[in-house]
Amino acid sequence: MSSTLVCLMLIAAPAAPAPDDARPAVFRITPLRPVAELRREALAATPPREPGPFKPVDLVELTKLDAGIRLDIRYATSDNFLGVPVYEQARAFLQRPAAEALLRAQRALAADGFGLLIHDGYRPWWVTKVFWEATPASGHAFVADPAQGSRHNRGCAVDLTLYRLADGKAVEMPSGYDEMSERAAPGYAGGPAEARRLRDRLRAAMEREGFKVFATEWWHFDYAGWRDYPILNVSFDAIGRR
């Protein structure tokens, strides 16, 4: 390896440590059936048909908006509630108006020393079908019914948390991501006061820009215009090639 190449690799390395130090234990369910089997079936299935009209699809890759927007795409790793990777690529997209609103929230939070750490954005419909069918009925408040589609499927929902710009570390929140418990509710009154304050700070910044927090998940936000977009089933690597 040439010294020039080594030098370039060092420059390309992230400046801050991976934002995982405050990460609580990953919440897991026992999938009702093997995920590989559910995946095969879901990929062969067809999303529900909805009458339009819909706005044109214009999915924007979030990391291209601002260097302060970072990714921790759990579904591309085993660190998720199913315990196996579901995505083949760690990428995040939103429809353009939602992406622009997210960027405004990012800039407001940066003034307070925080960045946005994205867990998920646009999610192909077949993944929603896998989540629903893997999850016992007791957890169905936390996963979307594929017969309705998820707002993630429309490119209008985002799962995210905050990290500190000073050290790149994710902040502590009242629950872990995708934890199917009462602690995940945005109004949960327990846990450390500082964690609740940061949860509420994230929510205020997002809701000011037209997102609405989900009733059972402090990390999930729906963009106001989600009804204008269709349920999509396109893979990440096909986005921009259509």
Rounded CA separation 171/119 (Å): 14
- 115 within 8 A of 105, measured Cβ to Cβ: no
Active-site choice (133, 179, 209, 217): 217
Smallest gap from Cβ 112 to Zn ion, in A, equals 24
Q: How far is the CB of 13 from Zn ion (least distance, A)?
A: 30
Instruction: Evaluate whether 118 touches 170 at the Cβ level (below 8 Å).
Output: no
What residues numbered 10-39 form the site for Zn ion, per CB under 5 A?
none
Instruction: Compute the residue count for the chain.
Output: 242
Identify which of residues 70 and 220 has a Cβ nearer to Zn ion in the complex.
Answer: 220
Pick the closest to residue 108 from 207, 17, 216, 237 (CA basis): 207
- d(C-alpha 175, C-alpha 188), whole Å: 10
Task: Tell me which residues in 205-224 interact with Zn ion (CB under 5 A).
Answer: 220
Annotation says 217 is catalytic: yes
Q: Is 159 in the site for Zn ion (CB under 5 A)?
A: yes
> Please, are residues 4 and 11 in contact by the beta-carbon 8 Å criterion?
no
Should residue 178 be labelled a site residue for Zn ion when binding is judged by CB under 5 A? no
Shortest distance (Å) from residue 220 CB to Zn ion: 4
Question: Looking at 9-17, 60-68, 130-138, 157-165, which segment touches Zn ion (CB under 5 A)?
Answer: 157-165
Site stretch for Zn ion (CB under 5 A), options 11-19, 48-56, 104-112, 151-159? 151-159
**Of residues 159, 157, 155, 160, the one with CA closest to residue 58:** 155
Active centre residues (catalytic): 217
Judged by the rule CB under 5 A, the positions of this chain that interact with Zn ion are: 159, 220
